[in-house]
Structure 1
Amino acid sequence: MTDAILVLSYGGPRGPEDVLPFMRNATRGRGIPDERLVEVSGHYQMFGGVSPINERNGELMDALGAVLRERGIDLPIVIGNRNWTPYVADTLRDLAASGARDLLVLATAAYASYSGCRQYREDLAGALAETGLSFGLTKIGPFAETDGFVAANTDAVRAAVAELPDARVLFVTHSIPTAMDAASGPGPRSAEPGSRMAAPGEANTYSAQHRRVAERVAAAAGLADDAWEIAYCSRSGAPHIPWLEPDVNDRMAELAAEGVRSVVTVPFGFVNDHMEVVYDLDTQARETAAEHDLAYVRAATVGVHPAFVGMLADAVEAALGRGEGGFDPAADPARSLLGGLRTCTATCCGSGRPGGPALPAACGAPETP
């Protein structure tokens, strides 16, 4: 019997004094000096040292809890973060103290990749090892290709394009190293009969998933094939390491040179207004638009859109064995990229770095797509 829903997220600073310690956590193991961290974290100080992710996650948890209670499900919903308080280990200690033993786990990342799925499992495994606690775990899988996520993004695109009817639409997501993209997805499991984790031989699951979602949203919103494309934001790391391109700012400059006069950005790679949205798109991209005399609108994130929250509630019901769900791979194998795969393998969603560790055994929790 499930005792609580554990939300796993990135976390973010809540004040100016939190920014440097947060950045140390986020870049742990990379050997980046504090001087450089202070330099690159300036965008947090533009917002008073406060990341919007904490408040937005709270809104999502409240909205999900309200929908679940309407359906007769009254479970505590708590959060554990990777890089700032409350940390995953501390949340697990609190849950154990309350008597919880079986958890439903939801990561606030829609797409399959190392940083969006597997690393959260590694966070969970590390927290279990640190605390010595034991829980029954069921993790909801990446949900980007669900109808609810697509419908919420479609409504956001329609609303934004209504403001700029002739705009070029840029679907924007977080860039990752191309090696990480190549390693994203199920690994050898994809070739097993009946697995819908990915089509046999499919590589680059992260970028492929984004392409499929963008195609569905564009079609549902009535966009012409030549009216939209995909761009990326938030590139970081050494310049010699290739990341997914084009950068949204570079592409906007190119479009202006080609004669495009208006642009809509759609942050379809994010579930709510993270710093990557309010800084990279609301600040940087807006400045780029002004520099090149482009009319500019940023579409909404899925946030607490009823279709998105309802999809998450469906996933909870399916994990609890209740309701009609909508995640039954036998009935609709194309519904979710992860349909038919119930456990993570030791090779899925690698980091792209050579010699990386196999997925910790503690993270091989049942997967509910």
Structure 2
Amino acid sequence: MSTDQPAPLEPTLSPYDAILLYSFGGPNKPEDVVPFLRNVTVGKGIPDSRLEEVGEHYYGFGGKSPINEQNLALKAALETELDRRGITTPIVWGNRNWEPYTTDALDQLAELGAKRAVMLVTSAYGSYSGCRQYREDMALVQRERVDIDADGNLTPQGIEFDKVRPYFNHPGFVDATYHAVTEAILELEGSSTSEQPRTHLAFVTHSVPDAMEQGSALHHPASYSEQHLALAEELISRIAAQTGRELDWSLSYCSRSGPPHQPWLEPDINDHLEELADQGVTDVVIAPIGFISDHMEVAYDLDTEALATCEKLELNAVRADTVGTRPQFVAGLVDLLLERAVIARGEHVEPAATTQVPALHHTCPANCCLQRAGQSTGIPTVAGQ
């Protein structure tokens, strides 16, 4: 495990001439919802009637996912931080499943004259859906983009991309998450009506199929769930060190979307809240450490469904913020971009990591987080993985 305070990196992103902020995407209006879900589930043969059912989550919010505005806010925050450090490398935003699509981002990068760009994905964890699928989709789009010369020869238009490593254990993400969680604990305890409250810290992330969990361990020192557990243990340790308190805690999951016969990571947050109430827990902080912003999984699955479960169970509950555009997180992302640039220049850098799990690799092996043949990921409502 490397130090929490690495030496400052040289403020240059050379050899990169652009940054791609690469996200999942989401609908902007009601008529976008089903076409967006078609994109998400392409090749799975899911009828529009089923997509309309899933789309109810979006229709309840006016047919608009919060993720696009949140990505624009993150892009602006990154530009401000880059400017503060004297770095002028431009940032382009693109999505896998909605406008601006990957190809739109590539058009914009081409207009900028970019030849080699660094890719920053809006998912903090190493897994198929959080890392490899972005690389696969980019490769697919790149293969379809060619120039035809006067003789009819095809020449790839491709821009070379290097991806920033998963950052669940980078100091910037850990620090921002710690502050969000401790603020929620203070808010919860200020609102508790129990004479002897039993406070529980319920960490939550997006569920994935068990097969994807197993694949995430390929070439990683920790699987998808173990990465979350490592962050949770680090946060609990910090809270104990700062306050002298050792809180009860757990990791549960939300947003399961696969067929009933397919095993996914459990327990579901709503089932888990019922278990906690049965155990005598009175006060709960719901901490969505698996998400970097308050997109649909947070807005619906937690703020709507999970908090309604808490109300039914008479649990005093507060939902912690995601890291969003907190300064520690944004500064940490720029540090990660600089770290990746050092590696691209062939220079040595000690990757910064703040959990018992070391920093994951920047350059993914060929079969890292490999998707198993025939593995279905269901109909994700995911908006930021």
Where on the TM-score scale, by shorter chain, does this alignment land: which range?
Answer: 0.7 to 0.9
- Equivalents in 2 of 1:71, 1:121: separation in Å? 29
Matched, 1:20 2:34: yes
Preserved contact between residue 351 and residue 359 of structure 2 (Cα < 8 Å)? no
- Corresponding letter in the other structure for 2:160: G
Structure-2 residue corresponding to 1:103:
117
- Corresponding letter in the other structure for 1:255: L
Structure-1 residue corresponding to 2:173:
149
- Equivalents in 1 of 2:351, 2:44: separation in Å? 43
- Equivalents in 2 of 1:336, 1:14: separation in Å? 38
Preserved contact between residue 110 and residue 142 of structure 1 (Cα < 8 Å)? yes
Matched, 1:347 2:371: no
Offset of residue 67 of structure 1: 0.6
Alignment partner of 2:284: what SS? strand
Matched, 1:304 2:318: no
Structure-2 residue corresponding to 1:170:
202
- Equivalents in 2 of 1:226, 1:114: separation in Å? 32
Question: After alignment, is 175-184 or 342-351 more displaced?
Answer: 342-351
Instruction: For CA contacts below 8 A with separation 6 or more, give which structure has more relative contact order.
Output: 2
Alignment partner of 1:264: what SS? strand
| Structure 1 residues 212 and 243, CA gap change in structure 2 (3 angstroms) | same
Q: Deviations over 1:121-140 (max 9, x none)?
A: 01110110111322122210
- Corresponding letter in the other structure for 1:24: R
Structure 1 segments unaligned to the other structure (5+ residues): 191-196, 357-369
Preserved contact between residue 170 and residue 352 of structure 2 (Cα < 8 Å)? no
Alignment partner of 2:318: what SS? strand
- Equivalents in 1 of 2:357, 2:337: separation in Å? 15
Q: Deviations over 1:198-234 (max 9, x none)?
A: 1xxx6xx101111100100111123855511101000
- Corresponding letter in the other structure for 1:172: V
Which of 245, 264, 282 in structure 1 is aligned with 2:266?
Answer: 245
Q: Deviations over 1:231-256 (max 9, x none)?
A: 10000110011110110000111111
- Corresponding letter in the other structure for 1:78: V
- Corresponding letter in the other structure for 1:74: T
- Equivalents in 2 of 1:335, 1:72: separation in Å? 33
The TM-score with structure 2 as length reference comes to 0.83
Preserved contact between residue 329 and residue 335 of structure 1 (Cα < 8 Å)? no
Matched, 1:139 2:163: yes
Matched pairs, number: 337
| Structure 1 residues 220 and 334, CA gap change in structure 2 (3 angstroms) | closer
Structure-1 residue corresponding to 2:213:
181
Matched, 1:313 2:339: no
- Corresponding letter in the other structure for 1:70: R
Matched, 1:264 2:285: yes
Structure-2 residue corresponding to 1:122:
136
The TM-score with structure 1 as length reference comes to 0.86
Alignment partner of 1:105: what SS? strand
Alignment partner of 1:109: what SS? coil
Structure 2 segments unaligned to the other structure (5+ residues): 1-14, 147-156, 190-197, 377-385
Alignment partner of 1:64: what SS? helix
- Equivalents in 1 of 2:323, 2:250: separation in Å? 19
- Equivalents in 2 of 1:35, 1:313: separation in Å? 43
Alignment of 1:183-262 (within 5 A): 183-185=215-217, 187=218, 190=219, 197-198=220-221, 205-222=223-240, 227-262=248-283
Alignment partner of 1:302: what SS? coil
Percent of residue pairs identical: 47
Q: Deviations over 1:325-362 (max 9, x none)?
A: xx9337979797445x4522121012244599xxxxxx
| Structure 1 residues 61 and 174, CA gap change in structure 2 (3 angstroms) | same
Q: Deviations over 1:288-317 (max 9, x none)?
A: 011111111000001111111111111122
Structure-1 residue corresponding to 2:127:
113
- Equivalents in 1 of 2:187, 2:337: separation in Å? 36
Offset of residue 257 of structure 1: 1.8
Preserved contact between residue 168 and residue 174 of structure 2 (Cα < 8 Å)? yes
- Corresponding letter in the other structure for 2:256: R
Alignment partner of 1:60: what SS? helix
Which of 327, 338, 349 in structure 2 is aligned with 1:328?
Answer: 349
Quote the RMSD (CA, aligned, Å).
2.2
Alignment partner of 1:237: what SS? coil
